[in-house]
């Protein structure tokens, strides 16, 4: 018996999120599990590093499955290609790794990095349709970068959580956050040890509103401290969000939190 | 009466090429003409700078229409936005300019620039699906760049024309051609005063075959000189091709060829 960890890239547009849904909707998890079944001739369930919502993209999602001893043993370096031959073109396995059996892609993540892409040109770029959040007026990426620093550190992020998340501990630690213009698009990059439900999208929406003067950046610390969702900005739409990296301990060791 | 020149960007995937087709297929020309009709309340036909095939993309296609004196006069700076409000998101007007009445977007082009994007990674990038030509084995962009120089200058490019083109003068002048790796993708950039039918795609296919040793780069001059389509390489698929720039004389003056 062994555990395999896949790195998966997908365009979120055509998927109803990561997680398998009872009603047979097209999800990334179901799609990759179908490919696994096609390759091995048997079904193995995936455990993901997070649950991305419908429309959210991933450059490097991580998901693991347990392979029984009597399953076909496909060499690690050939496994992505074998799976990709069974996958649709909006989803690709870009890496496969052996990990220790106790390893968990979600609970053993040291950090997760997301990017949020804003487009602030009068004319939408057709090549970025459903891949960014469009504004007609220019955003001020320097002001957004300065404002973003309020989120650094360990905070109770209750004000930046959509209802629906039932979580006891609402403290999270943001280790890096910045906003800059990359390839013409204003891009927020954030790393944290974990996220509350919709936390990245609410932070993105709050920074956009701060750029337009609808939220005073100097009030961000008190908005965070209030724990009041109504004081934070709107939830940015899913199509601008990308899961870009998940960090693990060397050797995929268990994380002692 | 005046003439307006639009710069149009579109993802070719969802279009059956530029040109209006009798059977009502979805084409870029028909789509933009519909937007023009919605904005002006009257139909004006577009004259394009070329006829891109189904699946071919454009970053800066140019097309002109004549506006009668009694038509609504929409300020140039507001026209793209007005049209984009009526256009689907895989097509956008990024600029509108006044041009002299005798100007013709095709015949007065000094040069047209195309890019052709090759992907040579084991795993396809889902975000580039239908936007490049995928190879499992690495391409040698330096060798392709060196080989590409054989196309520079004025040649009879009959060997690089698909049948179907009925053209008397098959001489074209390639002023720039290079191959380099851009953002991880092998990219051919070519500028010429004009192109025969499928010429860019046959050149791209020939350079790919040269990289894999199926065509000897030293034979390219004699392949060009032969005028024999069978000696050149395969026609690269449309999805890797982008019309990226059309050059005109200052003030959109008529070109004396």
Q: Which domains does chain B have, with CATH numbers?
A: 2-107 (3.30.70.580), 111-245 (3.30.70.660)
How much is the pTM? 0.93
Tokens of A159: 């004000």
Per CB-CB distance under 8 Å, the chain B contacts of A9 are 123, 125-127
Tokens of A51: 């649950």
Q: Within 13 A of B238's CA, how many CA atoms are on the CB side? A: 18
| pLDDT class of A3 with cuts at 50, 70, 90 | very high
β partners of residue B173: B154
Tokens of B129: 């699906």
- Specify the DSSP class assigned to residue B3: E
| pLDDT class of A122 with cuts at 50, 70, 90 | confident
CB contact under 8 A, B9 and A125: yes
Residue A238 in contact with residue A56, Cβ under 8 Å?
yes
CB contact under 8 A, A90 and B129: yes
CB contact under 8 A, A84 and B125: no
CA distances to A99, A143, B3, B83 from B67, rounded to whole Å, are 67, 43, 6, 15
The mean predicted confidence, pLDDT, of chain A is 95
Rounded to the nearest angstrom, the minimum Cα separation between B11 and chain A is 6
Rounded to the nearest angstrom, the minimum Cα separation between B244 and chain A is 13
Interfacial B residues in 71-110 facing A (CB < 8 Å): 80-81, 84, 89-94
List all residues 6 or more positions away from A27 whose beta carbon is below 8 Å from its beta carbon.
Answer: A15, A16, A17, A18, A19, A20, A21
CA dihedral A161, A166, A167, A168 (to 10 degrees): 120
CB contact under 8 A, A123 and B10: no
What distance in Å separates the CA atoms of residue B141 and residue B208, rounded to the nearest whole number? 9
| pLDDT class of B165 with cuts at 50, 70, 90 | low
Q: Are strands B133-134 and B109-119 parallel, antiparallel or unpaired?
A: parallel
- A53 a catalytic residue: yes
pLDDT at B24: 82
Nearest to B20 by CA among B7, B4, B33: B33
Tokens of A116: 């949020």
Tokens of A124: 């939408």
What distance in Å separates the CA atoms of residue A87 and residue A47, rounded to the nearest whole number? 18
Residue of A94, A131, A136 lying closest to B123 (CB–CB) = A94
List all residues 6 or more positions away from A60 whose beta carbon is below 8 Å from its beta carbon.
Answer: A7, A8, A9, A94, A243, A244, A245, A246
Per CB-CB distance under 8 Å, the chain A contacts of B122 are 80-81
Tokens of B30: 């028909």
Residue B52 in contact with residue B17, Cβ under 8 Å?
yes
| Residue A222: other Cβ atoms inside 10 A | 13
CB contact under 8 A, B127 and A91: no
Note the pLDDT tens digit of each residue in A138-154: 999 999 999 999 999 99
| pLDDT class of B256 with cuts at 50, 70, 90 | confident
CA dihedral A113, A125, B22, B132 (to 10 degrees): -50
Residue of B89, B126, B131 lying closest to A92 (CB–CB) = B126
Backbone angles phi, psi at A202, to 5 degrees: -75, -35
pLDDT score of A14 more than 80? yes
pLDDT at A165: 59
Q: Where are the beta strands (DSSP E) in chain B?
A: 2-10, 47-48, 57-67, 91-99, 109-119, 133-134, 153-156, 171-182, 185-192, 241-248
Residue B196, exposed/middle/buried by CB under 10 A (0-12, 13-18, 19+)? buried
Report, as an integer, the average pLDDT of B79-91.
96
Note the pLDDT tens digit of each residue in B179-230: 999 999 999 999 999 999 999 999 999 999 999 999 999 999 999 999 999 9
A48 touches chain B (CB under 8 A): no
β partners of residue A36: none
What distance in Å separates the CA atoms of residue A66 and residue A4, rounded to the nearest whole number? 6
pLDDT score of B257 more than 90? no
**Range in A18-27, A39-48, A228-237, B34-43 the model is least confident about:** A18-27
CB contact under 8 A, B123 and A84: yes
B22 touches chain A (CB under 8 A): no
């Amino acid at each position: 018996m062994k555990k395999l960890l896949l790195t998966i890239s997908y365009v979120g547009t055509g998927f109803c999120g990561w997680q398998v849904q009872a009603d047979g909707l097209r999800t990334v998890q179901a799609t990759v599990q179908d490919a696994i079944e096609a390759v091995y001739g048997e079904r193995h369930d995936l455990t993901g590093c997070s649950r991305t919502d419908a429309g959210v993209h991933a450059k490097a999602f991580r998901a693991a499955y347990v392979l029984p001893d009597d399953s076909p043993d496909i060499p690690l370096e050939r496994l992505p290609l074998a799976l990709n031959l069974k996958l649709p073109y909006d989803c690709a396995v870009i890496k496969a790794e052996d990990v220790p059996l106790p390893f968990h892609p979600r609970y053993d993540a040291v950090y997760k990095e997301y990017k949020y892409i804003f487009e602030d040109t009068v004319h939408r770029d057709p090549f970025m349709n459903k891949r960014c959040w469009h504004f007609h007026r220019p955003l001020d990426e320097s002001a957004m970068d300065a404002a973003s620093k309020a989120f650094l550190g360990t905070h109770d992020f209750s004000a930046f959580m959509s209802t629906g998340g039932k979580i006891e501990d609402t403290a999270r630690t943001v280790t890096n956050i910045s906003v800059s213009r990359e390839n013409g698009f204003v891009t927020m990059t954030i790393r944290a040890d974990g996220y509350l439900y919709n936390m990245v999208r609410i932070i993105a929406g709050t920074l956009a509103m701060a750029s337009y003067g609808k939220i005073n950046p100097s009030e961000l610390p008190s908005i965070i401290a209030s724990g009041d969702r109504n004081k934070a900005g709107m939830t940015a739409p899913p199509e601008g969000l990308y899961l870009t990296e998940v960090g693990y301990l060397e050797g995929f060791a268990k994380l002692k939190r």
